[in-house]
């Protein structure tokens, strides 16, 4: 993937604006943004402790930063 993809726009175009998939993804995106809050690296990283469950990844990946990056790839701004 070369840049952000507006996942909701793609789903709306392919499945219709009122499909259950569009509604589910929109709800998932909103829940993810709410769960991540105002995470701003590096100050908020690991504020609640490592959450990945993988001892190696817990040393190098902040779950909040990973979620923010995934949302950005989906065309979702903070």
- The 3-state secondary structure of 18-57 reads CCHHHHHHHHHHHHHHHHHCCCCCCCCCCCCCCCCCCCCH
Predicted TM-score (pTM) of the model is 0.65
d(CA 2, CA 59): 28
- Range from 20-24, 35-39, 51-55 that averages highest in pLDDT: 20-24
Q: Determine contact, residues 73/63, Cβ cutoff 8 Å.
A: no
Q: Kindly state the tokens that stand for 20.
A: 């259950």
At 53-67, the pLDDT tens digits run: 676 766 677 778 888
């Amino acid at each position: 993937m070369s840049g952000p993809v507006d996942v909701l726009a793609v789903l709306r175009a392919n499945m219709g604006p009122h499909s259950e998939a569009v509604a589910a993804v929109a709800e998932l995106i909103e829940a993810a943004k709410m769960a991540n809050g105002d995470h701003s690296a590096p100050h908020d990283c690991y504020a609640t402790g490592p959450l990945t469950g993988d001892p190696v990844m817990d040393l190098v990946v902040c779950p909040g930063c990973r979620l923010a990056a995934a949302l950005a790839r989906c065309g979702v701004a903070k």
